[in-house]
Amino acid sequence: MTGYTIRRLLLLIPTWFVVSLIVFFSIRLIPGDIIDFNFASVLYLPPEKLDEIRHEMGLDRPAYLQYFSWLGGVLRGDLGDSLFTGKPVLSQILKRLPVSAEIAVVASGLGMLIALPIGILSAVKRNSILDYLGRGVAIAGLSVPNFVLATLVVLLPVLWWGWAAPMEYKHFWQDPWVNIQQIFPAALALGVRLSSTAMRMTRSTMLEVLREDYVRTARAKGLPERVVIVRHALKNALIPVVTIWGGSFAFLLGGTVIIETIFGLPGVGQLTIDAINRRDYTQFQGNVLFLATVFVVVNFLVDMSYSLLDPRIRYDRR
């Protein structure tokens, strides 16, 4: 397994490099820059003055020189300073990261709490009314977009019970109850879709595992059905589910832009939207590169977990 791990780690380098190229040049495809956003759209300045400001900020240099300058800082652990606020990009990310991480953790937990029991029950009670209900719930969850579900989560409590989450965000250590009221609805909107995908995968893999010889052998030995399902079938059926969970968790960590906007949560997603609107190149580049790195690392850890779930899996071939 050591050789496989080293090869996978080495593959992270070109992946990360390609991501950095895409991130750096993609935002520059948007018309205008931060000078247009800050000055030209607010007050009139002569073109000569705007060009002078661009020169001071280094925005008039060729794009490839800006890229290598930025990349050199990244390799030293410096993501640069925000063009809009002047604050270090990394400090802004770390300030917002706990919000997005809390949403991702709660959403992933809710998704798995919903998906595993229903998926297992649907497989064990195949073609029963419980199976049809579970499959119907999964299809419904996949059919409803996150932003629609999030809007319903916001509006229905207000219309039915006159309740709305507090507007001013509070961290968990500041006010746990207010924090739960703000995070739980957003996590629920995200967790429902994750649960639908994981539910279908759990049912599918459980059905395959339940046909295996070792499951039939376990039943022939007279083991209780609960032991057969939990100890013999579920562990091997979890590998595809763990793959979905790992990828979804990494996606949720950086893909909560719409949800954070709807619920007014100051996470990394909202910070990224603000950076795009302000043409804050360094902040946007730092955000996306940081989240892409998290995504790659999480997927690497998921791959490494396979051999723990199924000892038959071996990575090194001689």
- pLDDT tens-digit series, residues 32-87: 677 766 665 555 667 777 777 777 777 778 888 888 888 888 888 888 888 888 88
Phi, psi of 280 (to 5 degrees): -85, 85
Q: Which residue's entry shows tokens 């998290």?
A: 294
Query: pLDDT tens across 231-274, in order?
Result: 777 877 777 777 777 777 767 776 577 788 888 888 888 888 88
Percent of the chain with pLDDT over 90: 0
| Structural domains of the chain ordered from first start | 19-75 (no CATH), 93-309 (1.10.3720.10)
User: Among the listed ranges 21-30, 41-50, 105-114, 118-127, which one has the minimum average pLDDT value?
Assistant: 41-50
Average pLDDT over residues 129-146: 83
Residue 15 has pLDDT above 80, yes or no: yes
Tell me what percent of the chain is helix, strand and coil, each rounded to the nearest 5.
Answer: 75, 0, 25
Mean of pLDDT values over 88-95: 89
**1 has a pLDDT exceeding 60:** no
- SS3 for 75? helix
Tell me what the pLDDT averaged over the chain comes to: 80
Q: What does the angle CA 115 – CA 120 – CA 122 come to, to the nearest 5 degrees?
A: 95
209 pLDDT more than 80: yes
Q: State which amino acid sits at residue 88.
A: P
> Has residue 297 got a pLDDT over 70?
yes
Percent of the chain with pLDDT over 70: 88
Lowest mean pLDDT among 20-34, 127-141, 184-198: 20-34
Show Cβ contacts of residue 35 under 8 Å, excluding neighbours closer than 6 positions: 50, 53, 54, 57, 59
- Inform me whether the pLDDT recorded for 2 exceeds 80: no
In sequence order, the 6+-apart residues with CB closer than 8 A to the CB of 53 are: 35, 39
More confident residue, 37 or 166: 166
Per DSSP, the residues of 106-160 read HHHHHHHHHHHHHHHHHHHTTTSHHHHHHHHHHHHHHHS-HHHHHHHHHHHHHHH
- Using the structure block, give the residue that is written with the tokens 């060009």: 51
Cβ-Cβ contacts under 8 Å for 169 (sequence gap 6 or more): 99, 182, 264, 265, 266
